[in-house]
Amino acid sequence: MELERFSYDNRLPKYFAYATILWGVVGMLAGVLIAFQLAFPFLNLDMAATTFGRVRPVHTNAVIFAFVGNGIFTAIYYSLPRLLKTKMFSKVLGNIHFWGWQLIIVAAAITLLAGYTTGKEYAELEWPIDIAITLVWVVFGINMFGTILTRRERHLYVAIWFFIASWVTVAMLHIVNSMELPVSFMKSYPVYAGVQDALVQWWYGHNAVAFFLTTPYLGLMYYFVPKAANRPVYSYRLSIVHFWSLIFLYIWAGPHHLLYTALPQWAQSLGTAFSIMLLLPSWGGMLNGLFTLRGAWDKVREDPILKFFVVGVTAYGMSTFEGPMLSLKNVNAISHYSDWTVAHVHIGALGWNGFLTFGMLYWLIPRMFKTELFSKKLASAHFWIGTFGIILYAIPMYWAAFRSYFMFKAFTPEGQLQYQFIDIVQTTVPFYIMRAVGGTIFLLGTLLMVYNLVKTVSKGSFVESEEAEAAPLAKTYAPTGKRFWHSVIERKPILLLVMSLLVVALGGIFELIPTFMIKSNIPTIASVKPYTPLELQGRDIYVREGCYTCHSQMIRPFRYEVMRYGEYSKAGEFVYDHPFQWGSKRTGPDLARIGGKYPDSWHFNHMLEPTSMAPGSVMPRYPWLFRRDIDVASTNSKIHAMRMLGVPYEEGYEAKANEDLMAQADKIAATLKTDKIEISSKKEIIALIAYLQRMGKDIKAEPKTTDK
């Protein structure tokens, strides 16, 4: 058959690689900043945009969607054409994809620092950006499927399956979790509330880890590890089992983020069961990656790229062992809300995603510039520095988690809690410092890589496109051996796409539908009432400042939590919470029942200068809340939007909402005045105090009944 000539474009992979490096450094810098802020609160600089609650989402979003995201695209734009023996479908779409994605990243950083957030972790971006993400994702999809459909290789290599499954699942997750009602430009409320919002969010959150941080990187592993080691993957059969069982199981595991919460018990158990099963495919993948290097371990000693891959894949194995363990309820009781979770995700992010990316870049850049790596020694040094950084990051966090757990649950012989929350915070600070140093060391290693790659680029000459040739696909397919149904699937990309979608959608449907169908079965507690307009404004300030990054609003049914924070949380208490604010980490105490615990003046002083009320506190100061006026112009549309979402404000309440708002604000200002605090009732702090004083109080009004 006649061979066709074509060329592979290296320009877009190069751009994506540069973006990966740039955003990697930015994301890690933000991480180092917030790590030090936890130990030294003055680093919050008393400015809204530099305060932990706003910078933390920038860190997580930058690392996940900018660093890892561009890493994924680098891998796909490089490997896909080569595996399919064709050029990428469209240069124009590729360019739109590249620049669109970078624009989204810039918009995300600016808006998050400006306080525009939905308050849902890893999905913080507001609705206009959500739409932009959807559009760019579709462009990327068209470009990918266009390439697949015009291929010259009939069979799709396993890496491509992972890319396809990632694309379709991320699309589904993003759309379902971003269902929100715009209130104004850059402000929206999620259509789900309370328990349902929590379930959707962690179905999303967990699978963002699965289908953004894991499956595309498994594709990357299945392409670049064989490339770098110059030997095929250990077992292709294992990779098939690995692929299908991984994508099937992952999607069900989300509820393990909500153990011991007000989520229905059966959903919690389902999440646990599937999480434990997930260990097998995960380890299948890890072993497949590691065994690929069988008989080549002598190469690993010499080659820094393989070193990165080996430790990266090992880190994957470690965190996918840890994950199922953390989803056991008794282990989760210790880890949830603690620094353990933080350590866990950083083994994944720094080890798995970080090291795999570094290995890929060290392999890819010299090849695209037709030269050798500037310095193998420097790359080796980077490897050791990075590994040391991860260890120094993780160990203090594990230690801190166990230490604080034992302190939390310590009781005196008289049955009182032995330690105040603040005691525990203070003993954790040294661990925060060590962690921040570990993160800094990891960043230094990354900067070493930047230098090494810049030097490599400057001594090489860029190969814009590589010529290649291959025979076109024959019109009819004659299989080489026995036929079986799977061979039909992996020759038909659209069928593979549909199958993948079906497999992941099943999990979502089975998990979400019952909770939604039986909405009426979430017992509405009669005394739980909608927020007043002032409280609603205060809640939006709470969301804006990212309070949920350090404070939970979910008291678990443990003796030591109930004694510390009050009555454990009930599902029915959150029915008007758009979005839910249960949080995932307690750097500060739980706030679910903060209402009425302290006088208004306590909150006033605490927000102005936390250490004045809680000596030793690491909470930032919030001086701008005392300067800025409540945005009363938005009250009308906020009430309206809430009613559309099913919150029972009476018809026409919009018109008098601000009257009520001012009346309540004046009352708080008057109370403050009795404590000799003079402040205008128009300031944001008043709204925030109103919200804080409301939290968790409703069920206290519930008429007492005798327990059976």
Partner 1 sequence: MKFINYLEGITGISIYPMTSLLLFVVFFVLVALWVIRADNGLIDHMKNMPLEKDSID
Q: Is 274 in the site for partner 1 (CB under 8 A)?
A: yes
Cα(679)–Cα(671) distance, integer angstroms: 11
**Cβ of residue 30: shortest distance to partner 1, in angstroms?**
35
**Cβ of residue 365: shortest distance to partner 1, in angstroms?**
16
CB atoms within 10 A of CB 701: 11
Q: Cα angle vertex 428, ends 424, 432, to 5°?
A: 155
Binding mask 56-95 for partner 1 (x = CB under 8 A): -----------------------x--xx------------
**Cβ of residue 24: shortest distance to partner 1, in angstroms?**
25
Residue from 158, 279, 343, 449 that binds partner 1 (CB under 8 A)? 158
CB atoms within 10 A of CB 508: 20
Q: Residue ranges of the alpha helices (H) in 555-652?
A: 559-565, 600-608, 610-613, 635-644
Residue from 2, 484, 651, 652 that binds partner 1 (CB under 8 A)? 484
Q: Is 258 in the site for partner 1 (CB under 8 A)?
A: no
Q: Is 2 in the site for partner 1 (CB under 8 A)?
A: no
Q: Phi then psi for 469, rounded to 5 degrees? A: -145, 150
The residue assigned the tokens 């037709």 is 370
Stretch in the footprint of partner 1 (CB under 8 A) among 19-27, 272-280, 352-360, 423-431? 272-280
Among residues 305, 309, 292, 302, the alpha carbon closest in space to that of 231 is found at 292
Among residues 112, 111, 121, the alpha carbon closest in space to that of 200 is found at 121
CB atoms within 10 A of CB 312: 27
Tell me how far CA of residue 144 lies from CA of 102, 183, 380, 550, in angstroms. 18, 35, 34, 39
Q: Is 615 in the site for partner 1 (CB under 8 A)?
A: no
**Which residues are bridge partners to 190 per DSSP?**
180
Binding mask 564-593 for partner 1 (x = CB under 8 A): ---xx-xxx---------------------
Q: In the numeric block, which tokens belong to residue 502? A: 């079906």
- DSSP label of 415: S
For 453, the 3-state DSSP assignment is helix
**Cβ of residue 168: shortest distance to partner 1, in angstroms?**
17
CB atoms within 10 A of CB 326: 20
Please give the residues from 136 up to 155 whose contact with partner 1 meets the rule CB under 8 A: 153, 155
Binding mask 637-676 for partner 1 (x = CB under 8 A): ----------------------------------------
Stretch in the footprint of partner 1 (CB under 8 A) among 129-137, 157-165, 435-443, 590-598? 157-165
**Cβ of residue 202: shortest distance to partner 1, in angstroms?**
17
Q: Cα angle vertex 202, ends 100, 277, to 5°?
A: 110
- DSSP label of 520: G
Stretch in the footprint of partner 1 (CB under 8 A) among 28-36, 418-426, 516-524, 576-584? 516-524
Binding mask 348-377 for partner 1 (x = CB under 8 A): ------------------------------
Among residues 510, 526, 532, the alpha carbon closest in space to that of 667 is found at 532
Cα(693)–Cα(539) distance, integer angstroms: 11
**Cβ of residue 481: shortest distance to partner 1, in angstroms?**
3
Tell me how far CA of residue 38 lies from CA of 122, 433, 617, in angstroms. 20, 8, 10
Q: Is 522 in the site for partner 1 (CB under 8 A)?
A: yes
Q: Is 276 in the site for partner 1 (CB under 8 A)?
A: no
CB-based contact 384:415 (threshold 8 Å): no
Q: In the numeric block, which tokens belong to residue 513? A: 């539908």
Residue from 298, 650, 678, 707 that binds partner 1 (CB under 8 A)? 707
Q: Is 333 in the site for partner 1 (CB under 8 A)?
A: no
Q: Is 515 in the site for partner 1 (CB under 8 A)?
A: yes
Q: Is 241 in the site for partner 1 (CB under 8 A)?
A: yes
Measured from the CB atom, is 16 or 252 closer to partner 1?
252
Q: Which residues bind partner 1 (CB under 8 A)?
A: 8, 79, 82-83, 153, 155, 157-159, 222-223, 226-227, 230-233, 236-237, 240-241, 244-245, 248-249, 252, 262, 264-267, 269-270, 273-274, 277, 466-469, 479-482, 484-487, 503, 506-507, 510, 514-515, 518, 521-523, 557, 567-568, 570-572, 707-708
